[in-house]
Amino acid sequence: MRKTSPLLLACLLGLASAILWIRSTAEETSPAAATRKIVFIAGKPSHGRGQHEHRAGSMLLADHLEKSGLGFETVVVENGWPADESVFNGASAVVIYSDGGPKHPALLRLEKLRALAEAGVGIGCIHYAVEIPKGEPGDTFLDAIGGFFETHWSVNPHWDASFKMPSHPIANGVADFNINDEWYYHMRFRKDMEGVTPILSALPPSETLKRKDGPHSGNPDVRKAVLEDRQPQHVMWAFQRPDPNGGGRGFGFTGGHFHKNWQSDSQRRVVLNAIAWIAGMEVPEKGIPTATPTDAEMEANQD
């Protein structure tokens, strides 16, 4: 029997170790293995129990991201904008679920929001958080997420909406669905919908426009769009920022008034997919894995 020389054996062992090290390093740095940090900004309590549950909704979504096994790290900041902005360090995406308008937590932090977007951080806004005053705040949202609720242009009725899912990574694994919510619509989008892709669209019924004109209730423009032109209204959208605005992605989702709706597998998954997408992840073909929350899970953390 031929004996292997000590020198050859050492070389073979060294080569094997090098191959294992290269394989291990590649696995650790591959997109599938990379950790993505998601920061949720949950607004202060505002409505009655079961409505505008910013904290409970954010914690539920964060929990399902972490349980997905896809490498998410989540932080939920309660009661509005964080006092210590170092929480944003290393974030792949920031999701704001809060009251909006003059109470929007980002209203006095536009410079920081712009800096995050310009650094390529994903920005997502849920329900009332899509509303911010027009002017500089609205323009900041147009650059960060592609659209916003503009008073005397957009409206906020409750209605049953039926959605057929488009071909987009955010729609992966999401079944068509129908659900009642306070679906804001007639958003102010970027000119010519530049970079904006509708995700959830439906034609609202005429009953949604029977209120008197007001900052949130009705106006001639929305009546023309819906009653005369019969234009489907986009209540969720994805946004790919142009390079001059730092690249990166954003989304807006106008539902989320009722906490119970997070028990809908389609609604929950489409938002989880959107968060993954703005964080730069390749959304799995079947969407983010997410089990239907139990009633106990739904009750947890409500205001």
- pLDDT tens digits for 209-251? 999 999 999 999 999 999 999 999 999 999 999 977 668 999 9
Domains in the chain, number = 1
The Cα–Cα gap between 228 and 79 comes to: 42
Tokens representing 114 are 């712009």
- At 97 the pLDDT is 98
Give the rounded distance of the alpha carbon of 236 from its chain centre: 9
Q: Please indicate, yes or no, if residue 295 is contained in any of the structural domains.
A: yes
Evaluate whether 123 touches 250 at the Cβ level (below 8 Å).
yes
Radius of gyration of the chain (CA): 22
Q: In this structure, is residue 139 part of a structural domain?
A: yes
> At 201, which CATH number?
3.40.50.880
**Does residue 210 form part of some domain?**
yes
Q: What is the pLDDT of residue 1?
A: 45
User: Is 6 among the domain residues?
Assistant: no
What does the pLDDT read at residue 5?
A: 56
Q: Is residue 25 part of a domain?
A: no
The answer to whether position 11 is within a domain reads no
Q: Which residues pair with 43 in a beta bridge?
A: none
DSSP 270-292: HHHHHHHHHTT----TT-S--PP
The stretches in the chain having pLDDT less than 50 are 1-2, 4, 7-33
What's the confidence (pLDDT) of residue 164?
98
pLDDT at 15: 46
| Structural domain that includes position 110 | 34-299
Query: Quick check: is 292 in a domain?
Result: yes
Q: Rounded to two decimals, what is the model's pTM?
A: 0.88
Residue 64 counted as domain residue: yes
Residue-level pLDDT at 245: 66
Strand partners, 88: none
